[in-house]
Chain A
Amino acid sequence: MTPESLHRSAAPAPGRRVPKALAWLAGAALLVGGVALLSSRGDAGASSDAEAGGAAASRKGAAGGRGHGGRAGAGGTQEEAPPPPRFDEAVCWRELERFDAAVTLENFRAWAAPLLASGDSLVADYLTERLTELIGQDPDRASEVLSWARTAGPDEFNVLLTALRGSEAVHHAQVATQLLAQGMDATLDGGRRAGILAALDTQKRFEPAALDTLTSFAKDPVSGEAGWAATRTIARVMKRDFEAKGNAAPYMDALLAIGTESPDEQIRYLALSTPMHATPVLDEHTRAQYAKVLTQEGSPDGREAAAHNLSISGDPQEVLELFAQAFAREQETCVRWALFRFAARASGREALPVMANMAMADPRFQPLYQIFEQLYASGLHDFVRLWNSLPDQDPFGCLVGHD
C-alpha cells in the first residue's frame, strides 16, 4: 500500500454512530492532504501500532482476540432483516497474573512466546507495554532488546521495537546511536531496518550528524522501505522538536533534499507532504524551494503537497501570484483544486480575485468559487472552519481513488 493510497483511503471506517464526528475527522485528514505521519508503507515496524494508541479500529484483527465488533451477514439479500450483531469472544489467559508478577527481561522471550503465537492482539499490546516497563530507563536493557530484534520473527519484532520506542531508555544517546547504526546495517533486510528506524521517531530531536545520516540514506536509490521509514522518522521528530522548541529549519532542509533528490516517488511524496503536519511558517528560502517543486516535480501528488506547504508562508501575496501562474500551466485537475483552495488558505478573502480568475480559466471551478465567496461573505475567516463548511470537500474525487 502506498502512502498515496493510504491517504486517499484514510477516512475512518463508517462508525456505528456519531456520523458527524467521523465525517469531520475524515475532513481533517483530507485537509492535511495525507496521513503519512499516522500510516506506514509496508507496515514499517513498530511505530504504526503504537501510534494508534487505543484506537481499536486500527489494530490488527486477532483470531480469538478482542471482540472487535465485526458484524456478520454481509452476504444477505436486501429482503432479509439484518442479523443481530455478532462478536468474537475475547480470550482470558490463565496464569497471566503470575506471568505479570514474575516476568523479567531474562525470561521475557520464552514466557511471551506462547502468548504471541496465539495471535491475541490484546495480549500482544500488554506484552509490549510490559516490556517497556522492564526496559525502563536502563540503556543496557534497551540494547539487549535491540539485539534480539536482529533475529526475531515479525510478531515478536513488532513487540520488541514498539516497546523500545516507548521506553524511557530510547532517549539515552547510547540507545539512539545503536538504533541508527542498526538501521543503517545493510546486512539486515529492508523491513527490519524500517522497523528499527521507525523506533527512532519518539526522539525529542536529532543532532546534525544523525539527521545527515538519515537524509543521505533516505535519498539512496536502494533504501526502499527503510528509506521511507527514515523519512517518516525525520518528519515525526521535526514535529516534536518544532512544537517544543520551534526548531524546524534543519528538518525542513532534510525533507526538501529527500523530496527533490530521491528517485523513489513514494519517498519524495512523503518528504514533501509531511511538513504540513508541523505547519511551520515558510521563510523565503524554503518558499523558493517549494516553488521549484511546484513547477518541477513530476508527480501530481508532490505538486499538491508543495501547494499545501506554501499556503502557510510569510508572504501571502507572493504565494498567490505563484499559485495563479501554476494554475494556468497545470494540467492535473487535482493539483488545480489544491492551488485553488490553498490560495484561500494563503490569503483568505484577499485570494478571491485570484480564485475568480482561476474559475474563469477553468469553468469547473465556478460553483466552487461561489461557495468560497458566500462563506467569506458570511463572516468566516478561519480556513479550517471554512473547510469544514464546504458542502463537498472532494469535488473532483482527488482524495479517494482518483488514479
Chain B
Amino acid sequence: MKRLCLLLTLPLFPLLATGAHAASADAQPALRASTCSVRGLMDDLRRGLGSGSPSYQRYLRTLLREAAVTLPDAELRDAFARETDPVMAEHLAAALVARAEREADPQAMDVVAQRALQDVDPAVRAATLRAMRRTGALERTGDLYERMVRDESPQVRQEAATNLIEDNAHVYAGQYGPAADTAVTAAVASSDPEVTARILDNLSTEKISAESAERITSLLRSDDASVRKAAVNALGGVPAEQMQGARESLLAMYREEPDEGVRKALLQSVAQLGFDGAIADLQRLRDMDPRLAREADAWIQVLGMGLQEWSLLLREKQRLQQAP
C-alpha cells in the first residue's frame, strides 16, 4: 500500500540520521555485530544484570535463549554444571531448555531436570524449575513434578506449583488432558496444603481423566479447608462424563461442610455444573445457610440471565455484586 513509499526511503535513513546528529556522535559506541559465544554471553549477562537497564536485562536474557541453539552444546552444558549462582543458573538452564524445545538437543531437558531434583542449593533447584516454566518440559520430565512438590524447600514446592499452573494455562490452554492430569497427580501427591490448594484452585479440569476426578473428589474429605475449597473449585469444571458424579458429591457435602468459604465455593461449582439447571439446587442450598443467602441469590439471578458461557456468568456475577 502506501507504506511502499516509506520503504523506498529506508536505505537513505541511517546515513541521514548519522549526519544530522554528528554533534552528539563523539562518544558514540563502536557498535559491531559479532558471533556469540557462551563465555561472552555469560560475561555480558553477569554484568548487565547488575547494572544494565531493565530493557537491556530483558534483551540479554532473550539473546541467550535465542543464541542457545547455535552455541556449542558441551560448552553450554559445562557452564551450566559449574554455575552455582542461582540467577545465572536459571538463565543457562533456560538456554538448555530452549535447545531442547527446538529439537537442537533433545537430552538437554534431562540435564535441567536432574539439576532441579539434585542440586544441594534450594535456590538453584527453584531457579532451574523456573527455567522450565511455560515450555513443554512437563511432557518430557516423567514424574519430576510429583517429586518436586515434595521437595523439602517450600520455595521449590511453590515454584513447581507455578510451573504446573502456568504450563497448563498458557502452553496447553487447559485443553490437554495429560498435562492437567500431571498437575492433579502432583497436587494430590504434595503434603503441603498450600501447594495442593494453589494448583487445584488455578487448574482447568475440563480434560482430566476419570481417575484424576476421583483423586480430586477424595480431597473433599481433607482436614484443611483450603484444600477442600480448591477441590470443590476443581470439580466445577470436570468433563461431561464426570459432571453428574461431581454434582452429587458437592450437593452431599454442602450439608455437612462447616466452613463458610468452602460453602461459597460449593455454590459456585454447583452453578458451573448446571447453569440454569442448577437454580433449583441453589434455592435448596440457600435455605440451609442464611449466611450465604445473598450469595445464592446472586447466582440464581445471574444464571437466570440465560448466558451460555461460564466466563460471562462469572463476569456478570462480579458486576452484579460490585454494583452500588
Measured in the bound complex, the distance between the Cα atoms of B18 and A156 in whole Å is 13
**Is A64 interfacial (CB-CB < 8 Å)?**
yes
Q: Is the CB of B36 within 8 A of A85?
A: no
**A-chain residues with CB within 8 Å of residue B21 when the two chains form the complex:** 107, 109-110
Nearest Cβ distance between residue B2 and chain A, in whole angstroms? 5
Contact A110 B17 (CB under 8 A): yes
B173 interface residue (CB < 8 Å to A) = yes
What bracket does the count of chain A residues touching chain B fall in? 35 or more
CB distance B2 to A90 under 8 Å?
no
Q: Mark A68-103, 1 if CB is under 8 A from B, else 0.
A: 010000000000000001011111111111111110
Q: Is A173 an interface residue (CB 8 A)?
A: no
Contact with B along A267-295 (1 / 0, CB 8 A): 00000000000010100000000000000
CA distance A42 to B3 in the complex (A): 8
Q: Which of A6-36 contact B (CB under 8 A)?
A: 16-18, 20-21, 23-25, 28
Instruction: Please give, as numbers and ranges, the residues of chain A lying within 8 Å of B53 by CB-CB distance.
Output: 100, 130, 133
Chain-A contact segment, one of B141-149, B152-160, B237-245, B289-297: B237-245
What residues of chain B lie closer than 8 Å to A155, measured between beta carbons?
10, 13
- Interface membership of B24, Cβ < 8 A: yes
Asked if B36 and A90 make an inter-chain contact with CB atoms under 8 angstroms apart, the answer reads yes
Which A-chain residue is minimally distant from B17 (CB atoms)? A113
Tell whether A388 is near chain B: CB-to-CB under 8 Å: yes
Q: Is the CB of B3 within 8 A of A110?
A: no
Is there contact, CB below 8 Å, between A384 and B309?
yes
**A122 with B63: in contact, given A110-B21, A114-B31 (CB under 8 Å)?**
yes
Q: Scan residues 297-324 of chain B and give those whose CB is less than 8 A from a CB of chain A.
A: 305-312, 316, 319
Tell me if B118 counts as interface (CB < 8 A to partner A).
no
Interface segment among B64-72, B84-92, B188-196: the answer is B64-72
Contact with A along B59-99 (1 / 0, CB 8 A): 10011001101100000000000000000000000000000
Question: Does A186 make an interface contact (CB < 8 A)?
Answer: no
Q: Mark B22-59, 1 if CB is under 8 A from A, else 0.
A: 10110111111111110011001001100111111011
Query: Are the C-beta atoms of A114 and B14 separated by less than 8 Å?
Result: yes
Query: Does residue B252 face the partner (Cβ distance < 8 Å to A)?
Result: no
Within 8 A of B (CB), among A110-126: 110-111, 113-118, 120, 122-123, 125-126
CB of A264 closer than 8 Å to a CB of B: no
Q: Does A346 contact B (CB under 8 A)?
A: yes
- A108 and B120 CA atoms in complex are apart in Å by 46
A246 CB-CB contact with B under 8 Å: yes
Q: How far is the CB of A168 from chain B (nearest CB, A)?
A: 14
A-B contact pairs, 29 of them (CB 8 A): A16-B102, A20-B172, A21-B171, A25-B173, A42-B3, A64-B33, A66-B62, A87-B70, A87-B104, A89-B35, A89-B67, A90-B63, A99-B31, A100-B55, A126-B56, A130-B53, A132-B55, A133-B53, A153-B6, A156-B13, A190-B2, A281-B316, A346-B308, A348-B308, A380-B240, A381-B274, A382-B308, A385-B206, A389-B240
| Beyond known contacts A56-B66, A64-B33, A90-B67: 18 more, CB 8 A cutoff | A21-B172, A66-B66, A67-B66, A85-B104, A96-B31, A97-B44, A99-B29, A100-B56, A102-B29, A106-B24, A110-B24, A110-B28, A114-B14, A126-B55, A126-B59, A281-B312, A382-B275, A382-B309
Q: Which of A's residues lie within 8 Å of B, judged by CB?
A: 16-18, 20-21, 23-25, 28, 42-43, 56, 64, 66-67, 69, 85, 87-102, 106-107, 109-111, 113-118, 120, 122-123, 125-126, 129-130, 132-133, 152-157, 189-192, 224-225, 246, 279, 281, 312, 314, 316, 344-348, 350, 375, 378-385, 388-389
5 shortest interchain CB distances as A-B pairs: A110-B21, A129-B55, A153-B13, A95-B29, A90-B67
